[in-house]
Copies of this chain bind each other. A is one copy, B any other.
Amino acid sequence: MTEKFNALYAQSGGVTAVINASACGVIETARQHSDKIGKVYAARNGIIGALTEDLIDTSLESDADIHALRHTPAGAFGSCRHKLGSLEKNRSQYERLVEVFSAHNIRYFFYNGGGDSQDTAHKVSLISKELGYPITCIGIPKTVDNDLPFTDNSPGFGSVAKYVAVSIREAGMDVASMALTSTKVFVMEVMGRHAGWIAAAGGLAAEKEGDAPHIILFPEIPLNTEHFLKRVQDCVKKYESCSIVVSEGVKNAEGNFISEQGLVDAFGHKQLGGAAPVIAKLIKDNLGYKYHWALADYLQRAARHIASKTDVEQAYAVGKAAVEMALAGKNAVMPIIVREKAETYRWSIGEAPLEKIANVEVKMPREYITEDGFGITSACREYLSPLIQGEDYPPYAHGLPVYVKLKNKAVEKKLSKTFEIT
């Protein structure tokens, strides 16, 4: 009988509609390999739970509850944005991790997050070599920003993309219905501080001439007020209304976020009011059109009710693959989504080394944005469209989605020392 080791799973960074589907993939797959993996612990509130020995025993959760993670948004075990420093400068943190791993017989570490988190995962993977504790570390990709390298797309993005496309289609129809005598301009602000992937996804809703959105404002394209206002005016003249998707990361010609300009409160303090109201006001002041605006914020990344089936399947698959890779003796890798060269969209799971993923941000290619800077090209559409395919509705009771809340029972602490997060 070979010795069994426990696994530790942690969620990191901003949560998504499908990060729990990855957790589900990890835990269900580990349960299928109970001959090799003992318990799956989860770190409460991400890496902080690992450092403070605040571990959750997922073995106390029923199969049904673990399965329900697949359709439950947000982070079931809590997440955080804590970054580990370099091994050289912050050796004590890594030594602490080894203490915790060792005390709980943990030899597998699965870290589910974006670029920063994969950097942490990479550093943890170096523990074996640097500190002599045998740990198998596998990263699991997650980010609504879709900016991870190697992988064709990032789990979490497809569902935000679907939410944004569905929402602007619906709101655009609303505005168009009323445009003759009421609101002519609608502005919807979406996430994406550094890259326009999410804003671009809104463009999928415009399938026919005149469909919303009529204009997309990307962080990659500095706002040219004159061109923009001309385009809004042309659009209202032609279609009676103008629906706009604006990324929170849109900058002016001077390179400053437009969301940070202009608004102050009664005391003269600068107000972070969002990009949408600034754009709406710009239009009102210059063209006089009545406007409405929306700011989706967390609604977009939490919207499990309208998740992309493709996204859910991929999120589950990378969780599953992470466990399989660990069992196959791999280390310091991250499962990735590989788009196969085929007539119709097909994907499979590949892998990439954590070392090369850490801190690399993939930008949206310029050729995905139309030359005028206000829309997406057919190449962009071809890339994005498969990622929002399919619906994967959660179960409902009393008219509301039934999302699982796990017991999240703490594992008994074994270390006498506590650890202060700084």
Task: Give chain A's interface residues, CB within 8 Å of chain B.
Answer: 11, 14-15, 17, 45, 48, 72-76, 78-82, 162, 165-167, 169-171, 173-178, 180-182, 186, 188, 204-205, 207, 261-266, 271, 273-274, 277, 281, 292-299, 301-306, 308, 310, 385, 387-391, 393, 396, 398-401, 403
Contacts and interface: CB of A to CB of B under 8 A. Distances in A.
A400 B205 contact: yes
A388 B398 CA distance: 8
Contacts of A277: 271, 273-274
A205 B405 CA distance: 14
Contacts of A162: 399-400
Chain A interface secondary structure, helix, strand, loop or mixed? Answer: mixed
B80 A181 contact: yes
Contacts of A400: 162, 165-166, 169, 204-205, 207, 388
Nearest to A301: B174
Given A296-B299, A388-B398, 11 more contacts: A15-B177, A48-B180, A48-B181, A78-B178, A162-B400, A166-B305, A170-B401, A186-B298, A204-B398, A262-B266, A389-B398
19 contacts: A14-B178, A78-B178, A81-B182, A162-B399, A166-B400, A167-B303, A170-B303, A171-B302, A173-B403, A263-B264, A263-B265, A263-B271, A292-B297, A294-B295, A294-B299, A296-B299, A306-B306, A385-B399, A388-B399
Contacts of A75: 177-178
Contacts of A387: 399
Q: Which 5 A-B pairs have the closest CB atoms?
A: A75-B177, A388-B399, A74-B173, A294-B297, A170-B302
Which of A15, A264, A265 neighbours the largest number of chain B CB atoms within 10 Å of its CB? A265
A385 B401 contact: no
A204 B399 CA distance: 9
Given A388-B399, A398-B207, A167 B299 contact: yes
A103 B80 CA distance: 69
A389 B400 CA distance: 8
Given A181-B80, A308-B399, A388-B400, A174 B298 contact: yes
Nearest to A162: B399
Number of copies of this chain that the complex holds: 2
A391 B81 CA distance: 36
Given A177-B78, A281-B271, A297 B305 contact: no
A154 B248 CA distance: 36
A188 B277 CA distance: 16
Nearest to A165: B400
Contacts of A294: 295-299
Nearest to A49: B180
Contact of A79 (B14, B178, B293): B178
A178 B385 contact: no
Contacts of A17: 170
B266 A261 contact: yes
A330 to B, nearest CB: 29
Contacts of A180: 45, 48, 78, 80
Given A74-B173, A399-B204, A293 B292 contact: no
B165 A399 contact: yes
Nearest to A82: B181
A391 B396 CA distance: 8
B74 A176 contact: yes
Contacts of A297: 171, 292-294
Contact of A273 (B74, B273, B396): B273
Nearest to A161: B399
A205 B403 CA distance: 11
Contacts of A15: 174, 177-178
